[in-house]
Amino acid sequence: MIIRQSQLVVDCADPARLAAFWGALMGAAPVDRDPGWSYIDPPEGLRLAFQRVPEPRSGKNRLHLDLEVEDLTGAADAAVALGGRRSGAAQRDAVGAFQVMHDPEGNEFCFVAEAVP
């Protein structure tokens, strides 16, 4: 048996809102299949789907996306302009840097950038 990844599903309160946020961030058109299910197909990577659930988000994500960017500050600024928010300051070391972010519903993700030689 061969198993292939098809999509990553995010439980949320407002699928259309999150699909619009993530679509704008990743350059993908949001698709609202119905009021409880939306998704995006980024140019690179896995489909991200958003599924309405009745319970609120609680606690820290057990899984998050790392999104590679060239301009850490610019990517974070763009996410904030779209309704996301930073979580603390960017962390930097000899290998690169990352910025922890939250989408409009508080789901964590990170922008990561390799160190420039």
What is the model's pLDDT at position 60? 83
6-54 CATH: 3.30.720.120
Instruction: Kindly report, residue by residue over 19-53, the tens digit of the pLDDT.
Output: 999 999 999 999 999 999 999 999 988 999 999 99
> Computed from CA positions of residues 81, 82, 87, 92, in that sequence, does the dihedral angle turn out positive or negative?
negative
Amino acid at 88: G
- What global pTM score does this model have? 0.91
Surface-to-core class of residue 25, CB atoms within 10 Å of its CB (0-12 exposed, 13-18 middle, 19+ buried): buried
Which residue matches tokens 């599903």?
Answer: 9
Residue type, position 100, single letter = V
Superfamily of domain 61-116: 2,3-Dihydroxybiphenyl 1,2-Dioxygenase, domain 1 (3.10.180.10)
The whole-angstrom separation of Cα 117 and Cα 98 is 17
